[in-house]
Amino acid sequence: MNDSQLATMIASGVDSADQHFREILELLPAAIYTTDAEGLITYYNKAAADLWGCEPELGTSRFCGSWKLYWPDGQALPHNECPMAMTLQDEKPHHGMEAVAERPDGIRVPFIAYPTPMFDLAGNMIGAVNMLVDITDRKKYEMTQQRLVAIVDGSDDAIISKDLNGIITSWNKGAERLFGYTADEAIGQSVTILMPPEQVNEEPDILERIRRGERIDHYETVRRRKDGSILDISLTVSPLRAADGRIVGASKIARDITERKRQQEQQALLVREMRHRIKNTIGTVSSIASQTLTDISPEERSVFAARLDDLLTMDNWRQAKLSGLVQRALQPFSVTFGDRIVVDCGNFPLRPERAQTLALVLHELATNAVKYGALSNETGVVSITWTPIEGDRLAGMLKWVETGGPQVSEPERKGFGSRLIQRALGSNSKVILDYRPSGLMFSVELVQETI
């Protein structure tokens, strides 16, 4: 075999090895490319082309095949300053540097570069090989984690995590504000430091439920602050799971409901006070009735008793807004007469006592309208309106106007209804009861009072 034949065999073997090496690189999921000593790209695999979003021309593109490059902070990165260019310039690796490649379609791909120089047998640098690791998923995860951390840190609620032994593993600013312990003081301690002695027995049951994968929603209990003061709180406890699905701990969200509890107690006190006042109101109405019911029929007396029982119930006197009050008082009549009863009233606030008596008055006016007034024929209409008094937003006039009914004249003797209206509203109210021929007109001036 002569020298020429030997050289041909060696060259053939080198070409075969190179082709085999390239086939292996094409199968790798990592983006890999090579350059010569001047930075001209001499090879890239399919993963590199996919990352770049293009196929650069070999021997023409330099340093990196991406259309544009950026630093992680968004600043433009010239190709001749990228990690591969740095490696070729100082002939040493620059592993682990982050950058962002922008594809021609505008999509940006964050990556980590691992450029390494290549040398011949004489020690001369002949180029470099670079591996680009796409870290898009990692960046998304990091962004999600950062957002979660920001949400937890910014929450007004106390957000705590603990392991399955009840040892605190995380502690946000909300927990610090609520319980008084800093994160350094709380992390590593048992969560029972937050429990009054009589509540410590809650923890084993909570942990057992967490181990079973249960979630505990809005569990109301009490906890103790660092200074020893007691808080009413609402707890939500959820299992924490590892990547393989195992339950490894629990997250707890604690919300201070001390103020809500205080308001509930005040509301209960107010209810008791209102019950006392309602008894006084019933006494007043009963007194009026005792002076007027003697000369009315048993049927009217029965209707009045039923009316009193309905209008003075707890549900009615709590709704001390004028519009709702009028609708409620006239509801039985609206079912029968429909749009012949027209209501245009606002949500003017009324004290419960005034609401009760006004409801009685409206019910009485409607009853009289059915018997003798606008609702006693087929065409009459009753209009109830509320008009604020000009220049005084705390006062207004409620009017009841009947039209289209029989001709009206003032009765010679005041009956039960008119006496109830005058006495129930009291001498301090500006009440007008006008028996006009075209129909009855009733008005009363209402002044906003402290509810």
Locus of tokens 């591969």: 84
Instruction: Compute the CA torsion angle 186, 190, 194, 196 (nearest 10 deg).
Output: -150
Give the domains, in start order, of the chain with CATH numbers: 22-134 (3.30.450.20), 156-256 (3.30.450.20), 284-447 (3.30.565.10)
CA 404 from centre of chain? 52
Provide the pairing of β-strand 97-102 with 68-70.
Answer: antiparallel
Per-residue pLDDT of the chain (451 residues; tens, 9 = 90+): 444 443 344 334 445 556 767 777 777 788 999 999 999 999 999 999 999 999 999 999 999 999 999 999 999 999 999 999 999 999 999 999 999 999 999 999 999 999 999 999 899 999 999 999 999 988 888 887 777 777 777 778 899 999 999 999 999 999 999 999 999 999 999 999 999 998 888 899 999 999 999 999 888 899 999 999 999 999 999 999 988 889 999 999 999 988 888 877 776 665 566 556 555 555 555 555 555 555 556 655 555 555 555 555 544 445 467 888 888 888 878 878 889 999 998 888 877 667 777 887 888 888 889 888 999 999 999 999 988 877 665 678 899 999 999 998 888 776 656 666 666 565 556 788 889 999 999 998 887 654 4
CA-to-CA distance for 105 and 54, rounded, in angstroms? 10
3-state helix, strand, coil in the chain (%, to 5): 45, 30, 30
DSSP 338-392: GGGEEEE----B--HHHHHHHHHHHHHHHHHHHHTSGGGSSS-EEEEEEEEETTE
Contact 203, 191 (CB under 8 A): yes
End-to-end Cα separation, the chain, in angstroms:
116
CB atoms within 10 A of CB 428: 7
Quick one: pLDDT at residue 431?
83
CA 317 from centre of chain? 32
Q: Which of 66, 41, 103 is nearest to 33 (CA)?
A: 41
Contact 296, 420 (CB under 8 A): no
> What are the CA-CA distances from residue 429 to residues 288, 326, 354 (Å)?
17, 18, 11
Quick one: pLDDT at residue 8?
40
Residue type, 381: V
- Element at 442 (helix H, strand E): strand 439-447
Locus of tokens 């109210």: 429
Instruction: Compute the CA torsion angle 34, 35, 37, 39 (nearest 10 deg).
Output: -140
Residues ≥6 apart with Cβ < 8 Å to 158: 172, 174, 175, 177, 178, 179, 252, 253, 254, 255
> What are the CA-CA distances from residue 278 to residues 271, 284, 290, 306, 313 (Å)?
10, 10, 18, 17, 9
Q: Which of 340, 339, 344, 338 is nearest to 326 (CA)?
A: 344
Task: Give the chain's length.
Answer: 451
